[in-house]
Structure 1
């Protein structure tokens, strides 16, 4: 029975990724032999503004270095909007640079970004048109929508919840999300991104949102978990993880 070390680079005010990713991988432990431990390094960020996000991203190299000291098996950059605010395609630039940090420290580890994972997850399930729910203010949400569209995915409809304080994002009741989606026109989309943010909790609402809409539902945390499992070359079936974590992708 192998144990894998899961490393996460986390915004200092993020309290969700260290609950949702472990919850998903603990659920996987109920059906598979592999075990996981969880390790984080934090970069300062309290308010979700472009300026704070840019300053925070500059700190990610230090976090990758610290986590590689622990010889983690995979490293996740757990802030979608920080990556997307740095310009089109930046998830590739960030992942390559942070992987280089681990390699130069003699502890080479694959790097997954939540931004890149969401893009890849949408494409993996074959979705061409999506609906997106995000907690950000409208300008940042528009930037996220533009980033997704630049990757060749059509965002047919989106909703910004306009919560600026990052701890308030974490406090948003996930069970409100199916109702928010019900108010959106999702008739012509292929999939729904229930939370385009790794700080907005969503896991308990995923099965309900899939039932309400009849569409595949994924989130940034689900996509990050999926890409971590792929990077580790492990089976991607996770109970309660929605369509993307059905094991088929």
Structure 2
């Protein structure tokens, strides 16, 4: 959240007049396990309260798997609750989540079938797949990189991603690829490469969240390097 989303906003500043400030409040998590994710989500109300003190125009809940591990459709409940926190603090702000943004982005580009790459262990990745499928999107193929340490997720080389997608056997059957179902796992440098490689839209949790933030601000969604979703067409 603190690397690729600001990078996308800076890229947008190069072609559009709007300027952005970026503020963050952290929910603690060291190992990506269901137990730590649940504890992390409990801190989201505090974070929303702290950020609303800054009178921000929109908030984004970064951790996709923290939302998806709390039960199917939970992004709606979370977004509504956190928005209410901002209302009660006197500084109402819309709240988007990377989980909700990813689902809405896939739907916006008209994709019915997707392939997914995620850094999580297999049981958590399976949970993410089931969450996405519960929203009416078929996950044809998925890869779990099984990286449990959160800092190791951030250190994963995005240049590994084209090869991972290249090894998938059912790419011909999908409408789009979710190259990183995690805002923590870097992927931006590989997005355009993989789109050229497979000839299909490629999106990530960070790209989808940026798209959702811009839409919440009623701004144009064209961002260089943001793949098909941030072409300005959606």
Aligned-pair distance for 1:126? 0.2
Deviation at 1:128, TM superposition (A): 0.1
Structure 1 position 59, deviation (Å) = 0.4
Equivalent residue for 1:134, pick from 97, 105, 118: 118
Match of 2:202 in 1: 217
Aligned partners of 1:28 and 1:63: how far apart in 2?
26
What is the root-mean-square deviation in Å for CA atoms of aligned residues?
Answer: 0.4
Determine whether 1:49 maps to 2:33: yes
Could you state the TM-score of these two structures normalised by the residue count of structure 2? 0.99
Work out the CA distance in 1 between the residues paired with 2:155 and 2:77: 31
1:43 & 1:230 partners in 2: Cα distance? Answer: 25
Aligned pair 1:24/2:8, yes or no?
yes
Q: Which residue of 1 aligns with 2:223?
A: 238
Structure 1 residue 65 displacement after superposition: 0.1
Quote the Cα distance in structure 1 between the aligned partners of 2:32 and 2:76. Answer: 22
SS in 2 for 1:155: strand
| Structure 1 runs, 4 residues or longer, greater than 6 Å off | none
Q: Which runs of 5+ in 2 are unaligned?
A: none
**TM-score, normalised to structure 1's length?**
0.93
2:53 aligned to which of 56, 69, 77: 69
1:41 and 1:134 map into 2 onto residues whose CA distance is: 24
**1:154-173 paired onto structure 2 within 5 Å:** 154-173=138-157
- Pick aligned residue for 1:152 from 136, 145, 153: 136
SS at match of 1:56: helix
Residue in structure 2 matched with residue 7 of structure 1 by the alignment? none
Does 2:188 correspond to 1:188?
A: no
Greater share of strand residues, 1 or 2?
Answer: 1
Q: Tell me the CA shift for residue 159 of structure 1.
A: 0.3
Where does structure 1 lack aligned partners over 5 or more consecutive residues? Answer: 1-16
2:78 to 94, 104, 121: 94
Partner of 2:186: 201
Tell me how far 1:19 sits from its aligned partner: 1.0
